[in-house]
Chain A
Amino acid sequence: MSDMLSQVEPMIPALRRYARGLLRDREVADDIVQDCLERVIVNWSRRRESNARAWVFAILHNLAINKMRQDARRADITPLDNLPEENVAVQSVQEQNLFGQDVLAAIDRLPPDYRSILLLVSVEDLTYAEAAAVLDVPVGTVMSRLSRAREQLRRTLETRRDGAAIGRPFIWRVK
């Protein structure tokens, strides 16, 4: 148990950052992190993944993706345009820097697959192999997804710099 504490506790700031990057809302993100930590405690001794960081991030990722799917189903009922702005993106004071806001608005517009690969690799500094374990895809898929995600982010930001509005966040269509 102390082994678990010493390995997982230092990850919590990063887990919160990843969840917030994906879900944007502070309370919702922390709910998911709490859920994740509860699962980590229960399953710690049974985990098969030798890399604890990849294992914990995978649990968090799956919970966040489920949450987004669930919300997407409800998005049919409540169009995002009608939501008050603070529900869509809660901005902290430190995020007021303009380009920072642009880049956050831009990743909101990316499909969740692209958003998560950018966050895992560029922000959380996971290796490609760790990201592959978290997303449960081959490393080759990580590379091609990363390349497409970066290109799409770049184009979105360039359009923004040219004066166009970034528009509303990406809405996950449920088939």
Chain B
Amino acid sequence: MTGRPITEDDLQAFVDGALGSERHHEVTLFLASSEEAAKRVASYQKDAAALRSALAPIAIEAIPSRLNLANIVETQRPAKRILFMPMAAAAVALLAIGAWGGWLLRGDSMVPTEGITALAQEAMASYSTFATDRVRPVEVRADGSDDLDGLASATIGGPAATPDLSKAGYRLMGGRAVPTPHGPGLLLMYDNDKGSRLVLLTRRMQVDQDRPMEPTDQRDVRGWSWAREGLGYSVVGAIDSEDLHSIADEIRSQI
């Protein structure tokens, strides 16, 4: 005797003959003492037997030839060989269509991955991420301490050039480090008294180390970008392109 109480699981296993002989004996004793359980178990056994015998004829039917395993194996093999060629042809055709379409669209949709065009894209992306941030637009505030310089040396390897744009009505809020595919960049953010914000992204350039200023337009956001002595600059804001151009000239004259 194990002395363990009889569980519902034991009763089910008793019905299925799945108990060890000792436990089976214990359940038999239990059933002798519980009329309710004995009735239930007898009923379950009877129902299971009825179900088994009602379905038994199916298992002795002759198996239809479409379920003959050897036949299925045979029909599957050639099917694969036949299917391979059209599928390969379709794959080649689809690849060709994709390559041709990609070639046609090459000028329209492919973002240049290097130079100041890439820099301008990165500045645009930074603008749309951080200029709309009302909670924490900058990581390091421009509070007169040298924290911004520390951030600059960590990102672009030199002291921060923080142009004064007060003549244009913009005040330096602060900055943050931003990741770009071409290394870390320093993002400075300015705002005016109407809450309009500008960002200036600065990073080291591998390609286009010296480039004259050129504009970028992306819906309602404009940018001006240039490079000098291995450092690239891109200023981005949601203001008139000519206004932004004069601000960009002002920045360039100061750094």
- Residues of A at the B interface (CB closer than 8 Å) are 1, 4-5, 8-9, 12-14, 16-17, 20-21, 30, 33-34, 37-38, 41-42, 92, 94-95, 97, 99-104, 107, 118-119, 121-123, 127-128, 143, 146-147, 150-151, 153-154, 157
Contacting A at CB under 8 A, from B43-80, are 43-44, 47-48, 50-61, 63-64, 66-67, 69-70, 72-73, 76
Tell me the nearest residue of chain A to B59, going by C-beta.
A13
- Residues of B at the A interface (CB closer than 8 Å) are 8-9, 11-13, 15-16, 18, 40, 43-44, 47-48, 50-61, 63-64, 66-67, 69-70, 72-73, 76
Tell me the nearest residue of chain B to A153, going by C-beta.
B47
Contact B54 A101 (CB under 8 A): yes
A16-B58, A122-B16 known; A30+B66 contact, CB < 8 A: yes
A143-B9, A143-B12, A153-B47 known; A13+B63 contact, CB < 8 A: yes
3 nearest CB pairs, A to B: A100-B54, A94-B57, A122-B48
| Chain B residues in 8 Å Cβ range of A17 | 55-56, 58-59
What does DSSP make chain B's interface, helix, strand, loop or mixed?
helix
Contact B67 A103 (CB under 8 A): no
What does DSSP make chain A's interface, helix, strand, loop or mixed?
helix
Tell me the nearest residue of chain B to A13, going by C-beta.
B59
Contact A123 B12 (CB under 8 A): no
Shortest Cβ distance from residue B66 to the other chain A in the assembled complex, whole angstroms: 6
